[in-house]
Copies of this chain bind each other. A is one copy, B any other.
Amino acid sequence: MSSAPPNDPGSASRPRRLLILAEGYSADPHYGKTARGVLRYRREQVVAILDSERAGETQDGIPIVGSVNDALCFNPTTALVGVATQGGRFPPAWRELLKSAIAKGLDVENGLHELISEDPELVELAARHRVELRDLRKPPPGLNVPTGENLTHPAKVVLTVGSDCAIGKMTVALELDAEACRRGIASEFVPTGQTGIAIAGWGISVDAVVSDFAAGAIENEVIEAGREAEVVVVEGQGALHHPGYSGVTLSLLAGSCPRALILCHAAGRDRIRTAEGSPREIPIPPLAELARAYETAAAWVQKAEVVGVALNTLGLEEPAARAACEAAGRELGVPATDPVRFGARPLAQAVLALRGRKLAPQA
């Protein structure tokens, strides 16, 4: 990005050396997803992981420590809250952890809904120790409803959509963006959640924007990214079939006005994972029906087509994973891959094959 992005966690003057706070969750693929995302895509910035249940182990070659004190020998500059809890609130024990990090002189980056920069006790402590508290999810001021300006730039906008939450929509977007960049295409990843923001260093967490301005916030991001990029890859959120998050998903569709959709799915998952204890049972429909749902919803504002399928095949043996991708591709008649396992090449090719967009007439 050429201009100063909103909510820039990279604005601190010293280079980030991250201590990832993942107490109790470092091995959890769902609730530890911020930790895992940053480990995968910004590994060079991570010096240690805090999880007292696994102190002394390593993860992806990074040492796991049991306390902030034990991490200090790795010279961290910043403690990053690496967990994503249901509803975005802090487990109670975390307050002590945050206070400990601040007292040891670490900046804190937090992606939960609960804002540390508005917590009087933490703010006072941070001022005393001259550290910054950065809430990655805090929306920038001045948001509004979308204007339609996102119809006036020629970039190819791609949105990752999916069958459920936490199945890899951010990862697919990052892999697609990286593959496009490797091919010399001016591609830009647009983060829309706390992990994407922690990775990319800018962005708006759409789920924390008041619902009236969610689509407008995404439009702002896409316009910003589309100024110089040929391809804009927007990180999807939620799922149309998930009752908790479908509104966010539709705001993303309406606000980003994608030309193309990548349909993401966890191979073998057949039910939406709703809140614990929920009396709900929501089956995930077949892929072709899912694709139709997204194309239908997109067309309420502007037509978009599913141009590829990204399967998360974690847990499948390789032959089964390849067979699942082939079956998905056959079912939808578009390229299908697990971009983490087999590369994002077919998805990038499908996106690049899109013709240039006809611009809407200027007002």
Contacts and interface: CB of A to CB of B under 8 A. Distances in A.
The size class of the interface chain A forms with chain B is: 35 or more
Contacts of A87: 144-145, 212-213
Nearest to A277: B363
A245 interface: yes
Interface string A211-235: 1111110000000000000000000
A244 interface: yes
A360 interface: yes
A278 B243 contact: no
A95 to B, nearest CB: 18
A151 interface: yes
Given A211-B210, A247-B248, A301 B241 contact: yes
Given A210-B210, A215-B247, A147 B275 contact: yes
A362 B361 CA distance: 54
A18 to B, nearest CB: 25
Contacts of A246: 215, 250-251, 253-254, 300-301
A279 B362 CA distance: 6
A124 interface: no
A208 interface: yes
A215 B240 contact: no
